[in-house]
Structure 1
C-alpha cells in the first residue's frame, strides 16, 4: 500500500502544477507529454531508493541474567480497520477492471457492426446509430445524417487529427492508471485533464488546416445536441465545449513561459529526499578492514568501457577509492590511445595521464599497499599476460605474491584455466609461482582454447612453462634466494639473509644442524647472524648420513660453516639473476678481484656484464689452492668459471 500512496502523491504533484501554471498555456503538445510522462513517472519514482549511509561502531553488551520467570500472556488482537484496506482495494480493482473490459467490448461491437472503408491509413465507419463521432486508433465512426457536407468535413479532420497523433494510447494509459489508483480522486481529474488537452490539440490542428474558424465553432455547437458518447474513445463533442471555443481564440503563449515546466523538478526532488530514502548502517570496523586490504589493477589498451566502469565500482565498494577517468580516446581498432585516470581516497590521490600520441597507451599498474596508492608503468611488450608483484598487507623485503592478470582486473569475470608444465593448477596455486621461474607463457583464447581443452577452456587457457629444474639460477622457494650451485641431493647457498628460517620449507620433518662440526638445535641455528656464515650445505638424503650423524640425520642435515675473523679466505656473494645482465657489484671476493672464465676462455669484467643470465648453464667458483693449482698465480683471488648453454 505504501507504493500506491507514493504513486498517488506524485500524480497529485503533476496535476497541481498543470492546473495552476500550465492549463491556460497554448503549448498543447508539450502539455500532452508533460501529463503522460507524469502518469508513467508516478509508477517509476517510488521504485527509486536513495541510500543514506550512517556509520556506527558495534557495542558489546554484557550478559545479564534475570531470575524472574517470564510469563507469556495471550492477548487478543484489537480491531484495526487498516487490516481490511487491502481487501477493499482489491475489490475496487476488480470492479473497475470489469467496467473497463465491458467498455472495450461495447466499443468493439460498434466498430464491427458496420462496414468500413479505407481512406489512406484511416478506416471510416458510417453508422446509423445515434452516437457522437469518435475515433479509436485508426477507426473513425460517425453518423453522416447528423451533419451537412461542410460540417462533416470539419468533423473528419478533427477525428483524423486524433488518429494521426495517436491519442488513443494516451486514453488507454490514463484509463489503466485510473483503475490501479481508483481510490485517488485526483487520478480521475488527471484523466479528465488529459482528454481535455487532447481535444485542444485536435482543435488546433483543424484550425491550422481551415480558413474559416466560425464554421468550425458552429460545428462544435451543433454536436452539443447529440449527447451520446462512447467511452475509451476520442469524441468530437464533450461537455467543456465552451472552454474549447475560448482556447481557439486565445493568443499563442510566449516561449519564456516554458520555464514553468521546470517547476516539477524541485517538487520531485523534495519528494525523493523526503519519502524515498533508506538508512544504511555501515560498520566502521568492517570499513577499516576493507580499506587496509591491498590491491593492484592492470590497465591496458584493450580495456573496454564496461571494464573501466567495473573497476570504478569495485574500487569504491571494496577499497573506498574513488576512480574517475577522462580524455578517453580510442582508435579504429577500439584500442585506447588516450586516457587520464585519477585515483583518490582519504589518505591521498594519484593521477596517471597517457596523452594522445596516436598510438595505443602503454600498460600501467595502479596499486594500493597499506594506505599508500600509486600508479607506475609496466615495462613489457606483452599486454596479454603480466606477472605482477603485489605487496602483502605487511610488506617485508623479498617477500612477494604473484598475480596473473589477463586484461580483466576482477574476479567477477569467469577465470581462465591455468596449466603449469602440462598439468592443470588452481587459480590459488598459480599465485605461488615466482615470475623468475617462468620460461614462457602462452595464452589461448576462444576457438583455439576450446579445440585443445574442450568446453572447460571457453574462458581462456594460460599455459605456463617453467625453467628447467637443473638450472643453477632457479629460485627454489617463494623467497628470492641466491642459489649458485645444485646437485641431486645438495644445494649450496652463500650469504643469504634469513635463509635458515626458510630452509625448513624444504623438509617434511625437522633436520639436524651442524655448526663448525658441532650439533646445535634449530632455535640456535635460526638465531645465527647470517652475515657471520660463510656457507650453508643442505643435504636431504644419502646413505652415509645416518652412519655419520646417527638416526637424527635421517630427515636431512644442514651443515653451517661460520666465517673466521682473521680468515682471508675469499667468499662469493651472488644476488639472484633478476636483471638483464650480470653486474660486477653482484659478485664480490675478499682479497681482490677474481678472474672470469667463459667456456674455457678468460674474459674481462666488461665482457661479463654483457652475458644474459638465461644463457648460463652452470657457474662454478674456485677458491685459494684449487684456483691456483688450475690457473696459477693469477687465480689467487679466486676464479669464476661460467659455462653457457649449447
Structure 2
C-alpha cells in the first residue's frame, strides 16, 4: 500500500535529520538554528517525498499510457485477509484517538490558566504568574514567559504534537518534541537571565511539581539541570555555524536517498547499441489484436478482490511495465496503487499477458515502457 510506503520513508527522513541534529547541534548555544532544524525536520519529513520525484523512465525507452480499463464485481475468487489494510486502519485509528486526546489536553491547558497556580506558565498568548511572587522575581518570570509568547513556542509544540500523533509508532518523534521544548526554555533563559542576579537560584526555586506531559510552557521545567548547564555554556556560535555547514550536505544526501526509487534495468553490457539509442518512433508497442483485444483480455481476466468488494473499496491502479524488444512483458510494478489486494490483482493480470508486438524506432525493435490504468468500480457493467 502506497500510504505505508510513504509512512516508512517519511520516518527514515526524520531519523536521518534528527541524527544530524543530535551530532552537530544538540549542545550548541545557537538556539534559533536548533529550533529551525527541529521544525524543518518535521516539515521535510512530511513534504519532501511529495516535492521531489525522481523519474523512473529509462532515457532510451518509450513511454505510453493507455486509456483506463474498468473492472467491476463479478465471480471474484476468494481473497486472503488484507493484513496490510487492517494494519493501516489500526494505525490510523490510534492516530485519530491521539489527536482527539490532544484536543482535550489543549482545552484543559486553557482552562488551567484561569485557575490560581504556583508555577509561571504560558500557552499561546496567555501568561500566568503566581500572585505570591516577589516583585523582582515577577519581572524576570514575565520576561521569560514573554519570550515564549512572542516567538510562538506553543504553536511549535502543538504542531509537533500533531505530527507525533500521526507517526506515533516511532518514539523518536516524542524525543524530538522534548528536545524542542528544551530549546524553547534555553531561548527564554538566554533573554531573561540578564534581569536577575541569581537566575540559577530562581530556576531551582520553581523546578518542582511540573508534569512532564504538560502542553504549557513552564518556567521551572523538568530539564532544570540541562538548562543551568546551558546558562554557563559559552561555546561560540561560529562553531555551530561551521557544524551546520557540514550538516547541510548530509541533509541533501538524506533527501536524495529518501526520494530515490529503484528502477528495474539491465546492465549496459547486456543491451545492444541499437536498443539503447534511437531518434524517432515508428510504431508504439501493441497488444496482440489491438486495443479492443486488450480490453477483452482485461475484462475476461481481472477479478474484483472479495475483501475489496466487501469493504466497498474503489479506485484506479496504475501498473507500469516494459515491453521488451522481443515482445515479452517484464518489470511489472505498481506505479500508483489503491490497496494491496487490488494492486496484486492488477499485477497478476499484467504479468499474464501474452507477448506484445514490440515498439520500433528507425525500423528496429526497441524496449518500451508502458503504463496501464485498471479501474475498480462498483455497480457498473463490464
TM exceeding 0.5: yes
Match of 1:210? Answer: 195
Structure 1 contact 135–163 (Cα < 8 Å) conserved: yes
The correspondence of residues 169-248 of structure 1 with structure 2, limited to 5 A, is 169-207=155-193, 209-210=194-195, 212=197, 215-227=198-210, 231-248=214-231
In 1: Cα distance, 2:211 partner to 2:240 partner: 38
Structure 1 contact 54–280 (Cα < 8 Å) conserved: no
Higher relative contact order (CA 8 A, sep 6+): 2
SS of the residue 1:225 aligns to = coil
Match of 1:288? Answer: 280
Match of 2:58? Answer: 54
Structure 1 contact 132–236 (Cα < 8 Å) conserved: yes
Match of 2:40 among 37, 40, 45: 37
| Alignment partner of 1:5 is 2:5 | no
| Alignment partner of 1:137 is 2:135 | no
How many residue pairs get aligned? The number is 256
> By percentage of residues, which structure has more strand?
1
Match of 2:254? Answer: 271
In 1: Cα distance, 2:258 partner to 2:45 partner: 13
| Alignment partner of 1:106 is 2:108 | yes
In 1: Cα distance, 2:243 partner to 2:125 partner: 34
Q: Shift of residue 95 of structure 1?
A: 1.3
In 2: Cα distance, 1:157 partner to 1:16 partner: 33
In 1: Cα distance, 2:61 partner to 2:95 partner: 47
Compared CA separation, residues 80 and 205, structure 1 to 2 (3 A): same
Structure 1 contact 13–264 (Cα < 8 Å) conserved: no
SS of the residue 1:140 aligns to = strand
In 2: Cα distance, 1:229 partner to 1:131 partner: 16
Q: Shift of residue 29 of structure 1?
A: 1.2
Match of 1:90? Answer: 92
Q: Shift of residue 132 of structure 1?
A: 2.4
Provide, for residues 551-585 of structure 1, a one-character-per-residue CA deviation record: whole Å limited to 9, x for no partner: xxxxxxxxxxxxxxxxxxxxxxxxxxxxxxxxxxx
User: If you compute each CA radius of gyration, which structure gives the higher value, 1 or 2?
Assistant: 1
Match of 2:321? Answer: none
Compared CA separation, residues 287 and 97, structure 1 to 2 (3 A): farther
Q: How large is the RMSD of aligned CA atoms in angstroms?
A: 2.9
Structure 2 contact 20–250 (Cα < 8 Å) conserved: no
In 2: Cα distance, 1:81 partner to 1:289 partner: 44
In 1: Cα distance, 2:169 partner to 2:30 partner: 30
Structure 1 contact 131–229 (Cα < 8 Å) conserved: no
Compared CA separation, residues 52 and 164, structure 1 to 2 (3 A): same
In 2: Cα distance, 1:199 partner to 1:73 partner: 60
SS of the residue 2:241 aligns to = helix
In 1: Cα distance, 2:216 partner to 2:137 partner: 20
In 1: Cα distance, 2:256 partner to 2:247 partner: 14
Q: Shift of residue 19 of structure 1?
A: 1.5
TM-score (norm 1): 0.37
Q: Shift of residue 76 of structure 1?
A: 6.2
Structure 2 contact 123–216 (Cα < 8 Å) conserved: yes
Match of 2:270? Answer: none
Provide, for residues 446-497 of structure 1, a one-character-per-residue CA deviation record: whole Å limited to 9, x for no partner: xxxxxxxxxxxxxxxxxxxxxxxxxxxxxxxxxxxxxxxxxxxxxxxxxxxx
Structure 1 contact 53–280 (Cα < 8 Å) conserved: no
In 1: Cα distance, 2:138 partner to 2:176 partner: 31
Compared CA separation, residues 143 and 105, structure 1 to 2 (3 A): same
The correspondence of residues 394-409 of structure 1 with structure 2, limited to 5 A, is none
TM-score (norm 2): 0.60
Q: Shift of residue 289 of structure 1?
A: 4.0
Structure 2 contact 145–217 (Cα < 8 Å) conserved: yes
Gaps in structure 2 of 5+ consecutive residues: 63-74, 266-274, 283-382
Provide, for residues 492-527 of structure 1, a one-character-per-residue CA deviation record: whole Å limited to 9, x for no partner: xxxxxxxxxxxxxxxxxxxxxxxxxxxxxxxxxxxx
Q: Shift of residue 53 of structure 1?
A: 3.6
Q: Shift of residue 177 of structure 1?
A: 1.1
Compared CA separation, residues 276 and 287, structure 1 to 2 (3 A): farther
Structure 1 contact 135–141 (Cα < 8 Å) conserved: yes
Compared CA separation, residues 75 and 191, structure 1 to 2 (3 A): same
Gaps in structure 1 of 5+ consecutive residues: 59-71, 114-126, 291-646
Structure 1 contact 133–141 (Cα < 8 Å) conserved: yes
Provide, for residues 133-157 of structure 1, a one-character-per-residue CA deviation record: whole Å limited to 9, x for no partner: 2112221012222x32222222111
